[in-house]
């Protein structure tokens, strides 16, 4: 039986190059990817100049160009504070089953609150991630804990990516995605 | 730093769940990625694996700062560590520990050859934050390790010689630590290791050899550090290297006729702990399992303590005065059949008729005993006289001789050979031939043996 097929950085580069989004919009492939239950993680710089990392819950894309990343407020007060203070932002999305990883960066982000229609979509994405983690060998309690979130305690970090990078493991990992 | 301390977070650093890492460049632009390995070093330091010349690497060199979030798969707690880069190591024990684990992780994820450790980046942990509190209690899936270890050491303390120590150790690991597959190996002076006994395999494998640096056992001995992996990669499998090395040296036209390594066919978890005494590597205690991630930091702690105790006892027992046991009956007259024992001085390998038995110092000891027996008819010997015999070129330390005698006795037992060695007291033993022995010194001839 053939083994699993893993993504490659060159595959990410080709997909990006061949995409033809409308001006100012993200490639449809990326929009679908980041909303597919792919464990978003965020990085910022604190006001005192240190890096700060935080795992997020899910991501929605507005108008094909604005990423809305949902994070738990009580877990990530310092991260939200850094965003409010004007930090640049990085977000990486990694899919467990084929290791495909894309990082996007923006010079700044804005904070907001989720709307009621976000919650079913967040739950859907967390369900997808839970299934992927089970496939990866997590036990069900581990996968449930990893994807659990407090629906009443979410904040939204919104930004328009300026640059994108492939972080899929392999030759070319880390390369900026350009056309 | 958090009151819980870094040591309490080791469970989140077993590599079961991926961790996440953020660095910033000199302009403050962050970079965030998932990482496969956060390695616990001590109460104040962790190490991250440097695998690629990427943005993370450039940022670390520029700012020396990083931030990591960990997920504990047992308690489901999340912690954030703030890190300052201290140094990068590209060799040595820590590097080798991380290299072995990374190879296993890469293999498990189908990325063998993609992940390659370039360096171990050591960080001082300047802060620990609780991001999400524990929400699950650890499952009591084993007896408390400290109590199990105490039971092991109680058994070891009753050993009167190296032979009993070997059995007490192997039985203790199985019975008290609940590890089903264990092998004890002792070191040759040249960096090789030979198995002296095992539990949990079809054959004991006494006499099986591990080349210097081969697999987790060889690396653990070379680097004097425990090597523990939860996903075995091809790089660390046994057997292939031995045959390949022999064929490369032109010594073999066919498969080697040495003693096969007794390991599991498809292990996933392995741990090799060096047995040290006075800074020397006496041997390696090796455990394995078909389960993934079978051994954690706590197992490693327990086995290191056990190995330390065995190291001390092995040396002390080797220094004991000879002490006869209760009278053991003299063997009867050997029957009339004859076995030719061939000795190849080049590597002291010994064959019974055409079957390989043993080589190295153990082979030299056997040949010395048989020559003495042929010349004088003697069957009763002492370890002390062997220790004083310069022709055997024994290493300086007493437990080396004891280990080789145990190996020789077990190898003869395993083979159900026509001669056996029986213990007749502490430091005393008897050669028991069950047929006539003819000796043949093969001079400069080369045996068909692995190098």
Q: Write the CATH number for A142.
A: 2.30.110.10
d(CA B418, CA B412): 8
d(CA B312, CA B315): 5
d(CA B35, CA B68): 9
Task: Identify the pLDDT of residue B369.
Answer: 93
d(CA B357, CA B258): 8
Q: Is residue A47 part of a domain?
A: yes
Q: Is residue A175 part of a domain?
A: no
Task: Identify the pLDDT of residue B109.
Answer: 61
Token pair, residue B194, equals 């030979």
B214 φ/ψ angles, rounded to the nearest 5 degrees? -85, 130
- 8 Å CB contact between B314 and B402: yes
Task: Identify the pLDDT of residue A69.
Answer: 98
Q: Is residue A133 part of a domain?
A: yes
Task: Identify the pLDDT of residue A39.
Answer: 82
d(CA A8, CA A1): 21
The count of other CB atoms within 10 Å of the CB of residue B89 is: 17
- ipTM entry: 0.94
CB pairs under 8 A between A and B: 121
B356 φ/ψ angles, rounded to the nearest 5 degrees? -60, 135
Domain boundaries, chain B: 7-132, 145-318, 323-441
- Name the pLDDT band for A36 (thresholds 50, 70, 90): very high
Task: Identify the pLDDT of residue B77.
Answer: 93
Buried/exposed code over B365-391 (b: 16+ C-beta within 10 A; e: otherwise): bbbbbbebbeeeeebebbbeebbeeee
Domain count, chain A: 1
Residue-range definition of the domain harbouring residue A157: 9-166
Does A44 sit within 8 Å of B65, measured CB to CB?
A: no
Question: What are the C-alpha distances in Å from B395 to residues B96, B362, B370, B402?
Answer: 27, 12, 21, 11
Nearest CA to B136 out of B71, B73, B75 is that of B75
In this structure, what DSSP letter does residue B11 have?
A: G
Task: Identify the pLDDT of residue A38.
Answer: 92
The count of other CB atoms within 10 Å of the CB of residue B291 is: 11
- Taking domain B145-318, whether its CATH number is 3.30.450.40 is answered by yes
Burial class (CB in 10 A: 0-12, 13-18, 19+), A48: exposed
Q: Is residue A178 part of a domain?
A: no
Task: Identify the pLDDT of residue B451.
Answer: 40
Task: Identify the pLDDT of residue B252.
Answer: 41
DSSP string of A89-132, one letter each residue: EEEEEE-TTT--EEEEEES--EEE---TTHHHHHHHHHHHHHHH
pLDDT score of A124 more than 90: yes
In chain B, which residues touch A (CB < 8 A)?
16-17, 20-24, 28-34, 52, 54-55, 59, 63, 65-69, 71, 73, 76, 78, 80, 82, 109-111, 114-115, 129, 131-132, 135-136, 292
Domain spanning B7-132, CATH architecture: Roll (2.30)
E strand residue ranges, B92-168: 119-132
Which of B22, B112, B136 would best serve as a mutation to test chain A binding (most A beta carbons within 10 A)?
B22
Q: pTM of the predicted model, to two decimals?
A: 0.81
Going residue by residue through chain B, which has 451 residues, state the pLDDT in tens, using 9 for 90 and above. Answer: 555 689 999 989 987 788 999 999 999 999 999 887 899 999 999 999 888 778 999 999 999 999 999 999 889 999 999 999 999 999 998 998 888 888 776 666 666 566 678 999 999 999 999 999 998 887 776 778 999 999 999 999 999 889 999 999 999 999 999 999 999 999 987 788 999 999 999 999 999 998 888 888 988 998 899 998 887 766 566 544 444 444 444 444 444 457 888 888 888 889 999 999 888 899 999 999 988 888 999 999 999 999 999 999 988 887 766 667 666 666 666 566 889 999 999 888 999 988 899 988 899 999 999 999 999 989 999 988 888 887 777 766 656 788 888 999 999 998 888 889 998 888 889 999 888 889 999 886 665 544 4
Of B52, B69, B129, Cβ closest to residue A55? B69
- 8 Å CB contact between B235 and B108: no
d(CA B99, CA B119): 9
Close Cβ partners of B332 (under 8 Å, ≥ 6 residues apart): none
Task: Identify the pLDDT of residue B321.
Answer: 63
Between residues A113 and B242, the one the model is more confident about:
A113
- 8 Å CB contact between B96 and B225: yes
């Amino acid at each position: 039986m053939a083994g699993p097929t893993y993504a490659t950085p060159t595959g990410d580069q080709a997909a990006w190059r061949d995409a033809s989004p409308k001006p100012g919009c993200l490639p449809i492939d990326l929009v679908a990817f980041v909303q597919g239950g792919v464990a978003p993680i965020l990085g910022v710089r604190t006001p005192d100049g240190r890096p700060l990392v935080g795992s997020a819950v899910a991501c929605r894309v507005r108008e094909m160009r604005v990423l809305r990343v949902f994070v738990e407020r009580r877990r990530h007060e310092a991260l939200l504070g850094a965003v409010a203070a004007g930090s640049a932002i990085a977000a990486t999305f990694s899919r467990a089953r084929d290791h495909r990883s894309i990082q996007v960066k923006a010079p700044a982000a804005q904070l907001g609150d989720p709307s009621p229609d976000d919650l079913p979509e967040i739950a859907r994405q967390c369900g997808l991630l839970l299934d992927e983690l089970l496939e990866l060998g997590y036990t069900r309690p581990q996968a449930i804990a990893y994807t659990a979130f407090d629906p009443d305690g979410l904040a939204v970090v919104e930004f328009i990516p300026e640059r994108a990078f492939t972080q899929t493991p392999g030759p070319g990992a880390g390369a900026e995605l350009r056309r | 730093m958090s009151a819980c301390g870094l040591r309490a977070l080791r469970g989140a650093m077993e590599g079961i769940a991926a961790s996440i890492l953020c660095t910033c460049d000199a302009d403050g632009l962050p970079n965030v990625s998932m990482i496969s390995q956060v390695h616990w070093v001590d109460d104040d330091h962790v190490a991250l694996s440097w695998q690629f010349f990427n943005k993370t690497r450039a940022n670390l060199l520029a700012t020396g700062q990083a931030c990591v979030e960990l997920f504990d798969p047992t308690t489901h707690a999340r912690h954030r560590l703030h890190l300052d880069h201290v140094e990068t190591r590209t060799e040595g024990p820590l590097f080798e520990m991380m290299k072995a684990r990374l190879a296993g992780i890469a293999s498990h994820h189908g990325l063998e050859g993609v992940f390659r450790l370039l360096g171990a980046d050591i960080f001082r942990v300047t802060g620990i934050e609780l991001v999400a509190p524990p929400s699950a209690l650890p499952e009591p899936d084993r007896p408390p390790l400290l109590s199990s270890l105490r039971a092991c050491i109680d058994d070891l303390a009753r050993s009167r010689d190296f032979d009993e120590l070997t059995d007490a150790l192997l039985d203790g690991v199985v019975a008290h630590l609940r590890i089903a597959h264990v092998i004890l190996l002792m070191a040759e002076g040249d960096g090789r290791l030979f198995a002296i006994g095992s539990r949990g395999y079809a054959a004991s494998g006494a006499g099986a050899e591990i080349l210097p640096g081969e697999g987790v056992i060889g690396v653990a001995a070379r680097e004097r550090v425990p090597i523990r992996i939860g996903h075995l990669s091809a790089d660390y499998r046994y057997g292939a290297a031995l045959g390949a090395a022999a064929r490369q040296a032109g010594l073999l036209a066919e498969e080697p006729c040495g003693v096969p390594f007794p390991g599991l066919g498809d292990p996933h978890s392995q741990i090799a702990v060096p047995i040290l005494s006075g800074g020397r590597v006496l041997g390696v205690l090796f455990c394995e399992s078909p389960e993934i991630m079978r051994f954690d930091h706590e197992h490693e702690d327990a086995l290191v303590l056990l190995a330390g105790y065995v190291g001390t006892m092995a040396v002390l027992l080797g220094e004991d005065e000879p002490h006869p046991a209760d009278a053991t009956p003299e063997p009867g007259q050997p029957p009339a059949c004859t076995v030719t024992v061939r000795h190849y001085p080049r590597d002291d390998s010994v064959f019974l008729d055409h079957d390989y038995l043993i080589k190295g110092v153990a082979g030299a000891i056997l040949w010395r005993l048989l020559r003495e027996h042929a010349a004088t008819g003697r069957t009763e010997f002492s370890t002390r006289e062997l220790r004083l015999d310069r022709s055997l070129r024994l290493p300086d330390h007493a437990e080396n001789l004891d280990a080789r005698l145990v190996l020789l006795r077990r190898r003869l037992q395993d083979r159900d050979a026509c001669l056996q060695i029986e213990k007749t007291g502490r430091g005393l033993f008897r050669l028991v031939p069950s047929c006539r022995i003819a000796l043949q010194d093969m001079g400069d001839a080369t045996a068909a043996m692995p190098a």
